[in-house]
Structure 1
Amino acid sequence: MSFTTADVVKLRKVSGAGMMDCKNALKDAEGDFDKALEIIREKGKLIANKRADRDAAEGVALASATEDGKFGAIIVLNCETDFVAKNESFVVFAEKILAKALEAKPESLEALKAIEIDGSTIEALITEQTGVTGEKLDLSYYKCLADEAVVPYIHPGNKLSTLVAFNKAVDTQVGKDIAMQVAAMAPVSVDEASIPQAEIDKELEFAKEKYRKEGKPEAMLEKIAQGSLNKWYKDVTLINQAFVKDGKMSVKEYLKGADAELAVTAFDRYTLNA
């Protein structure tokens, strides 16, 4: 069975593979389009297997929310080089996965990988794209939040993204400010209540030991350590941090000024630069 240049162009459009790869696949398939597409896909699997031990440390971290603003997600699609990470088709592919996550609302990364797009699972499509890019690709992270309002933020460069969930509808600028606060200051929890007691106890013991070595009286250690813990809260809890756009107030005070009933219920942050 013969094939034409139009067949090669069509295969390239469907598979995303290079022109020569498509031409060779059609030649090996004796012009059978479906068989040629399978060859392209198998080639992707072969390259993926060869690169299984490679480090896919580059990529994009993207965040978005549904149109009603009540569900949001972060996905991280990794590749090997920054060159591929900045490629428009790679970013568009990641955005396609994120859009599907917002539509299907899977509960886990594995569930997201099993979702189908145009008849193929996302996991299979990633394998195919490995063949297209020539690099190992990996969908390594997925997190979703749902509440009355969920605000996403993507830092320029697509290397850092955040999501912040609120208990009620939030002003656009306020939501963005808090999402950018999470990006800039990397808090570990919303407030003191969200920190596991084991972590608090560990921090207290660390402070006591530190001041004990400095020769502070044993009877004073608990009080001094508690003061140190309060300073620690200002560093690691979102609402107690100094607001980055006005260091004279805390995030809690900023929120109260915007809406006395507004509260952050959860957040997530992912960076590829860690």
Structure 2
Amino acid sequence: MSISAADVKKLRDMTGAGMMDCKKALAETNGDFDAAVEFLRKKGQKVADKRADRDAKEGLVLSKVSDDAKKAVAIEINCETDFVARNEDFQAQAQSFLDAAYEAETENPEALLAQEVDGKTIADHLQEMVGKIGEKIEISTVVLVKTEGTVIDYIHAGNQLGVLAEFDGVVENEDVARDVAMQVAAMNPIATTRDEVDSSLVEKELEIAKEQLINEGKPAEIAEKAAQGKLRRFYEERVLLEQKFVKDNGISIKQYLEQNNTPLVKSFRRIQLGEEA
């Protein structure tokens, strides 16, 4: 049967699929729109199955914070190429998924996939996007922070890196708090305080330091004491509140916050595009 350009456009408007895909779907279903929509959905699943083992390391990191700074959500949505990540439709869809995560207060990707946007689950939206774009697309990270203090977000230019930083109290100077969120982005600390560092990691760092010193000819007793000094330097490099402030190496992050009458950081989440949480 003859498929009109108007029908193709109508199906494209309904599904967002490519013009040629819409024309083929209508031809395969004898112009039945409902069947054509189902045809395109199945096509999307076939594409998804074929792309399942591909790496999706590009994409976007997005965040949203409530007006009172008591709640924040961040998501990471992945695709295979930067070209797709820069596409306006992809970005608009990602924003709608972020809004859904914020409203439903979802805490993981599985829960977010079950949420609905415009009458369809996000899982179905992703499947349709895969069918339309031809790349693997997935939501790999969802972070929810709710606090009695203050949560500040920072998204690095290009949306490839994001931070949610929770402060233990009301933040009056948002610029100071955002400086600290930027510190997390730049210096990638492993913990907020030294007490949060895994004890096995501390023991490993001490053992490595002692072995290095002994190999340099230091007696065991001296190596033991000197290793504690190396451990302090390890904390200064890897623990947020003990790190040197990147804008002023003469003070630590803790000192910077105290000097500016800003509550200390209680926790943080750093999301790096394409990296496992």
TM-score bin (small chain): over 0.9
3-state secondary structure, aligned to 1:27: helix
% identical equivalent positions: 46
Aligned counterparts, 1:83-94, within 5 A: 83-94=83-94
Equivalent residue, structure 1, for 2:127: 127
2: CA distance, partners of 1:250 / 1:71: 27
Contact 1:72 1:146 in 2 (8 A): yes
SS in 2 for 1:44: helix
1: CA distance, partners of 2:69 / 2:103: 13
Q: Contact 1:145–1:266 (CA<8 Å) still a contact in 2?
A: no
- Tell me what 1:101 maps to: 101
Counterpart CA distance in 2 for 1:67 and 1:27 is 50
Q: Does 1:16 align with 2:13?
A: no
Runs of 4+ in 1 over 6 A off after TM superposition: none
Match of 2:206 in 1: 204
CA distance in 2, matches of 1:25, 1:194: 56
Contact preservation (8 Å) 2:101, 2:112: yes
The yes-or-no answer on 1:50 pairing with 2:63 is: no
| Conserved 8 A contact 2:56-2:274 | no
User: CA offsets, 1:141-198, max 9 Å, x none?
Assistant: 2222221211111111111111111122222212211111111111111010111222
Indicate yes or no: 2:28 matched with 1:25: no
CA distance in 2, matches of 1:71, 1:2: 54
Whole-Å separation in 1 of the counterparts to 2:99 and 2:177: 21
Q: Distance in 1 between matches of 2:63 and 2:217?
A: 49
For the 8 Å contact 2:107–2:142, the answer to whether it is kept is no
Aligned counterparts of 2:76 and 2:135: Cα–Cα separation in 1: 16
Correspondence for 1:145: 145
Tell me the TM-score normalised to structure 2 length. Answer: 0.91
Using the alignment, how far apart are the partners of 2:272 and 2:208 within structure 1? 28
2:269 corresponds to which residue?
268
Shift in Å, 1:255: 0.6
Query: Shift of the alpha carbon at 1:273?
Result: 6.7
Aligned residues: 273
Give the direction of change, closer, same or farther, for the CA distance of 1:178–1:53 in structure 2 (3 Å limit).
same
1:237 aligns with 2:224: no
Between 1:68-77 and 1:205-214, the stretch displaced more is 68-77
Give the Cα separation in 2 of the matches to 1:209 and 1:234.
21
Cα deviation 1:121-144 (Å, max 9, x = unaligned)? 212211110011111112122222
Runs of 5+ consecutive residues of structure 1 not aligned to the other structure: none
C-alpha displacement of 1:243: 1.0
Tell me the secondary structure at the aligned position of residue 72 of structure 1.
strand
2:67 is paired with a residue of what secondary structure?
A: coil
CA–CA separation in structure 2 for the residues paired with 1:14 and 1:222: 70
The amino acid across from 2:163 in the alignment is T
1: CA distance, partners of 2:145 / 2:195: 19
Question: 1: CA distance between counterparts of 2:274 and 2:136?
Answer: 19
CA contact (8 A) 1:74 1:98 kept: yes
- Measure the CA separation in 2 of the matches of 1:213 and 1:72: 49
Go from structure 1 to structure 2 and tell me whether the alpha carbon gap of 1:67 and 1:12 turns closer, same or farther (over 3 Å shift). farther
In structure 2, the CA distance between the partners of 1:86 and 1:8, relative to structure 1 (3 Å rule), is same
**Could you say which residue in structure 2 is the equivalent of 1:167?**
168
The alpha-carbon deviation at position 231 of structure 1 amounts to 0.5
Task: Give the AA of the match of 2:48.
Answer: A
Amino acid at match of 1:89: D
| Matched-pair contact (CA < 8 Å) for 2:44–2:128 | yes
1:20 maps to a residue whose letter is M
